[in-house]
Chains A and B, each alone.
Chain A
Amino acid sequence: MKIFSPKEELTKILKGESIGYFPRSIPVFGPIVDIMKLTDSYFPDGNYKEEPMSRLALGAHEYGNWNAIMMPWASTIEMEALGCKVTIKDDIAEYPLWKSCAFNDLDEVSFGKDIFKKGSFPAIFNAIKIVREKIVNKYSDKIPIVGMFQGPFTILSYSLGFDKMFKYMIKETEKASKALNIISELNIKYASKMLNCGADLLLMSDPVAEGLGRKEFEGILVPIYKKINQSLESESFIHICGKTSRIIKSLPESGFKGYSFDYPKLSLDFVKETLGNKMKVIGSVPTVTHLLEGTKEEVVDISNYMMENGTDILAPSCGLPQYTPLENIKAMAEAIANYNKKNYGIEF
């Protein structure tokens, strides 16, 4: 049996090609304190400075044994550059905290040419370049870098206020669509820059879209997702956490190749059945009940359940809580290795 590199595995799976065994990449990540200690890289610098950011990103592979690197991870990156105020605490594990909106209403939504010089963008681009260089030199370019960005609905919800944005989706549909299209241009430019810096694949996370009904999601957001995908020059997948049963049926129209879902808010069977063979299923080890609060054995059990019942790529159900024990992170990688050994006789 031909063995592919983790990068080839992930790319092939998302393209819909078979690899003959279970892919080793775990493509959704967020720094945990155990890895911060091991890499001597902490927040807030890990979110704003290229060196600690790159060390934390590589830590997922070097200490967690995850065969993929997802970066960056803060949910406030785009919002901060757009003008939202954030609080940066002097706390080793605290993400930047959203403080206030950037815009008062939909007509104000815009961004300048210098946006990528603002906030943490410069550090992110440099950090991706550093990680790429280290992967090429240390790991023969075999580990994929997944560039993560926030989706347009989430960015606008933070930039305008959640209540307002949800109501606009019913009361001001044209204006909302126009503003979301403006933000999608930011998405496309940002994603392209990450690819130019060395990212291999893209993950768009649009968690706030969970609250939408099918009509608004399908009518307004999916065409925008489609436009984003048509402009991206790599394989991409999407993460929307929570109970997305209202909107999941429209997801295959978006052009994303995989859907990272949130178990047990949705069951694996339901996701498989709904997406059929139109999208790959990614996930879903629960972050709180298993990775944060569970034992290593519980993490292995749920990982096995996911692999045995048809997930295509194993991943946490959402962003990792910062105090997730390293042992539970490693347990996911171990579960994949044992699954491949047991079912395909492959030892990596």
Chain B
Amino acid sequence: MDQEKILNNLKDGVIKYDEEKVISNSEKVIETGIDINEAILNGLSKGMRIVGDLYEDETYSIPEVLLCADALEAGMNILKPHLKKEKRKEGHVVCIGTVEGDIHSIGKNIVKLMFEVGGFKVIDLGENIESKKIIDILSKENIDVVALSTMMTPTLRNMKDTIDEIRNKFKKVKIMVGGASVSEKTAKLFNADGFAKNAQGALKVLESIVNNNLKEDDDSI
């Protein structure tokens, strides 16, 4: 089977949430020596971008997107150990979680996958995360960006409290926020470094935060 067909199968497998197809074709990527970055970008990720479009035009809803994300993740689990990280992003670590009181995980999980597809190392803290848990992980790991999400208005203040706590203890850590109840204005009020409306936007914001950081680092040298 040629490369184009395998990549196409990866893309279609994600779109049609056909996990078996994604797994078998991911294994073929390894067997045939196709470039892993190419398989992720022009196979799995391309499929997920189309899923994003299908969600936007309302052909798909959350249940389909979740099943597509499962298929994408199944492929990533096979390909990721073989992934050569881009030098630019090497060492950049993002920690992601939904704030305390909020158990919405779907959007956060999709954002996490997009970050991984983009080549970042992601530490997923899960949902309903107390700020203490974030502070603990920041103390132990070398984390560049914390990505926080909330879908609900009653938990907005938990997002603010968490940001305040991070700011007090870790001056260099960048923070980005998202979720249905968060607006750009809210993000500014909460003193976040970035805000994204959706998963595709989130990767762009993360890349921009990291790139700006690199520039700041360069300036300081």
Please report A residues at the B interface, Cβ cutoff 8 Å: 30, 75, 93-95, 97-99, 158, 161-163, 166-167, 169-171, 211-214, 216, 241-242, 245-246, 287-289, 292-293, 318-323
Q: A288-B156, A321-B153 are in contact. Are A212 and B67 (CB under 8 A)?
A: no
Check A322–B183 contact: CB distance below 8 A.
no
Check A93–B157 contact: CB distance below 8 A.
yes
Q: Does B33 contact A (CB under 8 A)?
A: no
Check A98–B63 contact: CB distance below 8 A.
no
Q: Does B154 contact A (CB under 8 A)?
A: yes
Q: A95-B154, A98-B101, A158-B103 are in contact. Are A288 and B63 (CB under 8 A)?
A: no
Check B157–A98 contact: CB distance below 8 A.
no
Check A166–B62 contact: CB distance below 8 A.
yes
CA distance A166 to B68 in the complex (A): 13
Closest residue of chain B to A289 (Cβ to Cβ) is: B183
A-B contact pairs, 6 of them (CB 8 A): A162-B106, A163-B105, A170-B63, A213-B63, A216-B61, A321-B154
Total count of chain B residues near the partner, CB < 8 A = 28
Check A167–B63 contact: CB distance below 8 A.
yes
- Residues from chain B with a CB closer than 8 A to the CB of A161 are 103
Closest residue of chain B to A98 (Cβ to Cβ) is: B103
- Residues from chain A with a CB closer than 8 A to the CB of B104 are 162
Whole-angstrom distance between the Cβ of A64 and the nearest chain B Cβ: 17
Question: Interface readout for B28-67 with A: 1 if CB under 8 Å, 0 if not?
Answer: 0000000000000000000000000000001011111011
Residue in B66, B152, B154, B181 whose beta carbon sits within 8 Å of that of A167 in the complex? B66
Whole-angstrom distance between the Cβ of B199 and the nearest chain A Cβ: 14
Whole-angstrom distance between the Cβ of B221 and the nearest chain A Cβ: 40
Whole-angstrom distance between the Cβ of B178 and the nearest chain A Cβ: 14
Question: Interface readout for B157-181 with A: 1 if CB under 8 Å, 0 if not?
Answer: 1000000000000000000000011
Residue in A99, A158, A212, A287 whose beta carbon sits within 8 Å of that of B63 in the complex? A212
Q: Does B133 contact A (CB under 8 A)?
A: no
Q: Does B131 contact A (CB under 8 A)?
A: no
Check B186–A288 contact: CB distance below 8 A.
yes
Top 8 nearest A-B pairs by Cβ distance?
A: A213-B61, A211-B62, A97-B101, A166-B63, A170-B63, A321-B153, A95-B154, A169-B63
CA distance A63 to B116 in the complex (A): 50
Name B172-209 residues within 8 Å CB distance of A. Answer: 180-181, 183, 185-186, 189
